[in-house]
Structures are given as structure tokens and as C-alpha cells.
Amino acid sequence: MNPSNEIQDFSLRVNGIEKTLRAEPRVSLLDALRDHLGLHGTKKGCDQGACGACTVLVDGERINSCLALAIQYEGREIVTIEGLAKSGQLHPMQQAFIDHDGFQCGYCTPGQICSAVGMLSEFRNQMPSAITDGEASELSDAELLTEETMFDDRTGRITNATLAEYHLPVQADVPHIEVMYTDVLDPLTPLGAHGIGEIGITGAAAAIANAIYHATGKRITSLPITLDKLLEGVT
């Protein structure tokens, strides 16, 4: 067996509690939270770091847990949606989502709330944003979420931060990623995915083939599904 796939014991500090788990080093933080620790509030969406449904806070900063290896975060302070409420009292951001009906279907709401909490923390720490330098720590949460463009009365130039001042990641910022392939499926993932960054195969093609069979009685067993295959043998 590849040594990189051996089960290891490590601990994670999640929502103020030290948790010990046994898992392979390839297990993502998202899968560790959901499948190993039973914290299902953090959702798996795209599993590729694009949708944000899996957002959690690590040392107060927001990350996509689907792109993070769990073992990398040993000793760090991890907060999930379950850890935002204190002593039965909802976090102000959670309450704000309820008061202002800030939901769509609700699936990715935990990630949205964690991201919003992390964003406010970033503003207060003077991280690059649309907030003028020196103002962030003095504003309320409501004011932080309201962006206003400020102009110099004499020159007409914009005086607060603009998108031009944001640091946008480029290809050169991407670290080297070692790609490893394994034939061993992770038994704890419901879709049988091999590991981080791999999504399970969806059943869309099978569903379409079944629909065609139920409608026409014609069974198509290979891809792609084409009109020629549907009409084959039909007189």
C-alpha cells in the first residue's frame, strides 16, 4: 500500500472541543467534519472550491474546507456553523439571516453565514476591501456591509479603496500540487470518491436512459444517447 494512504490518528479542535479521529491523510477537512465527526451543517456542493457551501472558519479566516486536507489543520481553531451560536443564543449573523429572510433553498446558507462572519473579521483586521483604510474597526456590522464610493470634492477622484487595489490570485500564485492516483476508495464517503477534489459521478445519463425506456420501451445501454440509437430497430 502507498504509505500516503495509511490510516493515521490526529486531532482537530472544532468549535472549542478537541476531537480525535482516525483517517487517511488524503481526507479533506470537509469529509472529516461530515463523515468522521458528524457535523453535517457544513455542506458539500461542487467539491471543487467554487460554490462556497463548505466554508468554515479557521483561526477566524474563511476557507473552503473541500480543498483543505484535514490533517493540515491539526492544532488550528476550526469553527463550523454549529459553533457560531453560544449558550443557546444565535450569532448575530445567523439572526440577521432569519430576520431578513436571507435564504434561497437553504442548502448553502451555512457557508454563506460563515463567509459573512469571516468577511467582517477580515474588515476589522484591515484586510484589503472596499472599506477606507482606518475606518473598518470603527464601523458597525451593518455599516461594514454597505459600500459607498467616496470622492474628493476638489479633484473628483475616488478616495476609498477600489477593485484595482484588490490582490487577485494569478497562475503564478498557485503552489505546486502533487497529483496521486489510488485504486482504494474512501469507505466513508457516500459517493465512493477517491479523495480531495474529486466529485462523485452523477446519475443524469442513467436517469435519461430510464426515462426513454419508460416512454418508448427502448433500452439504451451505452453513451452517448443519440437519436440513431433510439430509432435503431424501430420500423
Q: Is the bond into 224 cis (omega within 30 degrees of 0)?
A: yes
Query: Phi/psi at 216 (nearest 5 deg)?
Result: -120, -15
**Mean pLDDT for the stretch of residues 124-147:** 56
pLDDT of 164-200, one tens digit each?
555 555 667 666 766 666 566 666 655 555 555 554 4
Look up the pTM and report it: 0.57
Q: Residue 57: pLDDT band by 50, 70, 90 thresholds?
A: very high
**Helices (H) and strands (E) in the chain — how many of each?**
6, 5
Q: Give the amino acid at 225.
A: I
The 3-class secondary structure across 160-228, one letter per residue, is: CCCHHHCCCCCHHHCCCCCCCCCCCCCCCCCCCCCCCCCCCCCCHHHHHHHHHHHHHCCCCCCCCCCHH
Contacts of 211 (CB under 8 A, 6+ apart): none
pLDDT value at position 168? 56
Domains in the chain (CATH in brackets) are 1-87+170-201 (3.10.20.30), 203-235 (no CATH)
Contacts of 175 (CB under 8 A, 6+ apart): none
